[in-house]
Amino acid sequence: MLLHVPNVLNAEQVAEFRQRLAGAGWADGKLTAGYQSAQAKDNAQLPDNDPVARELGGRVLDALGRSPLFFSAALPRRIYPPLFNRYAGGQSFGFHVDNAIRYERGANGAQVPVRTDVSSTLFLSAPEEYEGGELVIQDTYGTQRVKLAAGDLVLYPGTSLHQVTPVTRGERIACFFWTQSLVRDAGQRRELFELDLAIQRLTVAAPGNPALVQLTGVYHNLLRRWSDA
């Protein structure tokens, strides 16, 4: 499932993020890539221990916590700390599939595995600021080309083959991260998401309808059955 989540950050927040990132300690993105991905990756990235990345990543997590749409679609169990990247001067990231497991640094330096069920990109540059830089995602519904407004997020299965096309003018700055979902199977997550949306619409259109109790019960029973929490 590919989903557009608008307004994760507002214009004021985006402007502040951009100001902070302008003076940050960008490094070669290959340093954080696996062997195969490094062959296709050409961008700049903030190291995961960079203080600016950690602070702004925490604020992204706070914003996601206020997004019912993101929560309904991703059903997050654990979110890998958000990272930040930058493309300019023809840089790109060729077709690849994200690593199935990322390791988050936990308490006492322990490595905590995070299964990358759901990938997300939060755009921080407005589309008119750069040329190229489309996120191209190949999934069961064909090839999708994504270039969203600053502050908007796209969510898609971590199993998808995807790329970032060359940025030929300006800069493309974004935040990206992965979510380990309570529900491992992408098809089951999609069914739960669609059921949740239907319940929300019925709640508005027919408040108090007895069917709401039944549908909500079905939702939670399916979640109980499919969750690996």
Binding-site residues for Fe cation, please? 96, 98, 162
> Is the alpha carbon torsion for 73, 78, 81, 86 positive or negative?
negative
Round to whole Å and give the CA distance between 152 and 126.
10
CA distances to 48, 49, 81 from 57, rounded to whole Å, are 10, 11, 6
How large is the C-alpha radius of gyration of the chain? 18
Q: Are 96 and 39 in contact (CB under 8 A)?
A: no
Task: Please identify which residue in the block is written with the tokens 């499919």.
Answer: 226
CA distances to 129, 155, 191 from 138, rounded to whole Å, are 25, 13, 20
Round to whole Å and give the CA distance between 158 and 118.
5
Q: What share of the chain is helix, strand, coil (3-state, %, to 5)?
A: 35, 35, 30
Q: Residue 75: left (phi > 0), alpha (psi -120 to 50), or beta?
A: left
Binding site, annotated residues:
96, 98, 162, 172
Reduced to 3 states (helix: H, G, I; strand: E, B; else coil), residue 112 is: strand
Name, in order, each residue with C-beta under 8 angstroms of 185's C-beta and a sequence gap of 6 or more: 226
Q: Which two tokens stand for residue 209?
A: 């309808």
Binding site, annotated residues for 2-oxoglutarate:
172
